[in-house]
Amino acid sequence: MASDTPVQTPPASSSPAGPDIRAVGDDADLFAAWIARIRTGFDAPPDGDPKEIPDRMAGMDLSRTVGVFEEGRCVATFRSYDQELTVPGGNAVRADAVTAVTVSSTHRRRGLLTRLMSDDLRAARERGDTVATLIAAEYLIYGRYGFGPAASTTTLEIDLFRAGFDPRRTGRPEDLGLSGSIRFAEAEEVRKVGPELHDRFRRLHPGTIDRDAFWWDRFTGVVRWSDDGPAPRHLLYTDAEGVPQGLASFTIDDAWAHGRPDNLLKVRSLIGASPEAERALWHHLCCYDWASRVSTGKRGPDDPVRGVLPDRRAARITDHWDFLWVRPLDTAAMLSSRSYRTEGELVVEVRDPMGLSGGRFLLTASPEGAECAPTDRSADLTLGVGTLAGLWLGDRSATLAQATGDLDEETPGAVVRADVLLGTGRRPWCADVF
């Protein structure tokens, strides 16, 4: 269905004069108009294959999918759904994942996003979600709604001729003294073993989100759409007992020049449920014959891939940006969900202009877990709700937040105390776009 084709919508009840917010639900016509509006909103080529509409509908939880309609035309889109977000220590909290946010260029800057977002965040707070999450298209859009950058992403390109590997090696785990092995896996096997492997992987990485069955169907080609790129190949790392511990999925182009292969190996996904698996898979890919460069795809800012290379300067950053934004909805639940480096107490005063998660909270922390509740004690630190997001996941230190004027120290020494408590081994990393 073309994006400008009016659809029949029930008569407006709330605001007869202006655009109406409608739940898209399982109405195929509304959904087709909604999808078409997203393509326009994100400046994608118009009109995917209409035959794919039922597949797309079946794969998505549409219960919180809304469109704004004016005279039957969809002029804005918004969707949220349940997500799990891993926090330091390996627990996961329930997040309200916000996606597919578009307002038609003909209807921008009239407050439509503000209305859609405010409704959604209030509903999420009432439902009991701990945070809301999104991938911000532009930096300046979402801070006003209390979101803050919480897990950044880095892409590296590795020049394999500079990496310093002995060309007689083929990237076997035994070259690294590891007892596991690497083999290719067909998509069907990945569909079977991938979800359980990912569940183990994601407990290790704060900032990681869950992948549902539909994600795996798309990834392994069970469901393919007309605008999908080439299917990836998959390498599985299994430990000495044969248990899958890591999965690398990649594409490689077919470029030759002057009789020499000059191929870019692009990593779509590389996950390891152990550091050995991660290291072994990177090593293998960086010794791949016919590839002259490896593009890592979206990694955490301190991904160990560089450390696998004999010459670390063979890797250069080609992309780096704030990626996952988090909006605190329940400060006490957030702070008590994660573990901490040491035992200690901290009183934080959180400012939230939208009135969803602000207040003063006493955190009683320990490596095993924590408690957090509202308190009358005087504050050690004062910070905005968006700043709390980055501190909570370990993306940012209190020292840095103080330096940028995003956090005030009310009790001498509280910034250092917060850094000791909140510090994490690796920076948070969200591996997936949503």
Ligand X SMILES: CC(=O)SCCNC(=O)CCNC(=O)[C@H](O)C(C)(C)COP(=O)(O)OP(=O)(O)OC[C@H]1O[C@@H](n2cnc3c(N)ncnc32)[C@H](O)[C@@H]1OP(=O)(O)O
- Under the binding rule (CB under 6 A), the answer on residue 65 touching ligand X is no
Sole binder of ligand X in the list 44, 58, 123, 137 (CB under 6 A): 137
- Under the binding rule (CB under 6 A), the answer on residue 324 touching ligand X is no
Element (H, E) at 349: strand 344-351
In the numeric block, the tokens 């009109």 are attached to 47
**Which residue stretch of 101-109, 163-171, 183-191, 340-348 sits at the interface with ligand X (rule: CB under 6 A)?**
101-109
Is the CB of residue 397 less than 8 Å from the CB of residue 424? no
Is the CB of residue 94 less than 8 Å from the CB of residue 56? no
Q: Is the dihedral of CA 427, 431, 433, 434 positive or negative?
A: negative
Is 102 annotated as a binding-site member? yes
Tell me whether residue 40 or residue 424 sits nearer to ligand X (CB atom): 40
- Under the binding rule (CB under 6 A), the answer on residue 114 touching ligand X is yes
Is 113 annotated as a binding-site member? yes
Is 67 annotated as a binding-site member? no
Is the CB of residue 154 less than 8 Å from the CB of residue 301? yes
Tell me whether residue 115 or residue 172 sits nearer to ligand X (CB atom): 115
- Under the binding rule (CB under 6 A), the answer on residue 373 touching ligand X is no
Tell me whether residue 115 or residue 268 sits nearer to ligand X (CB atom): 115
Is 312 annotated as a binding-site member? no
Measured distance CA(267)–CA(270) in Å, rounded = 7
Sole binder of ligand X in the list 110, 162, 192, 351 (CB under 6 A): 110
Measured distance CA(200)–CA(339) in Å, rounded = 18
- Under the binding rule (CB under 6 A), the answer on residue 98 touching ligand X is yes
- The span from the first CA to the last CA of the chain, in angstroms, equals 24
Is 422 annotated as a binding-site member? no
Residue 434 annotated among the catalytic residues of the structure: yes
Of the residues 142, 219, 250, 361, only one is catalytic, namely: 142
CB of 74 to ligand X, least distance (A): 12
What is the SS3 assignment for 28? helix
Is the CB of residue 381 less than 8 Å from the CB of residue 353? no
Is the CB of residue 265 less than 8 Å from the CB of residue 293? yes
DSSP state letter for 290: T
**Which residue stretch of 56-64, 98-106, 150-158, 164-172 sits at the interface with ligand X (rule: CB under 6 A)?**
98-106
Is the CB of residue 275 less than 8 Å from the CB of residue 245? no
Measured distance CA(246)–CA(266) in Å, rounded = 17
Tell me whether residue 99 or residue 263 sits nearer to ligand X (CB atom): 99
CB of 400 to ligand X, least distance (A): 24
- Under the binding rule (CB under 6 A), the answer on residue 111 touching ligand X is yes
Residue 323 annotated among the catalytic residues of the structure: no
Is 111 annotated as a binding-site member? yes
DSSP state letter for 86: E
**Which positions are catalytic?**
142, 434
Binding residues, by number, are: 101-103, 109-114
Q: Which residues of the chain form contacts with ligand X (CB under 6 A)? A: 41-42, 98-103, 108-114, 134-138, 140-141, 144
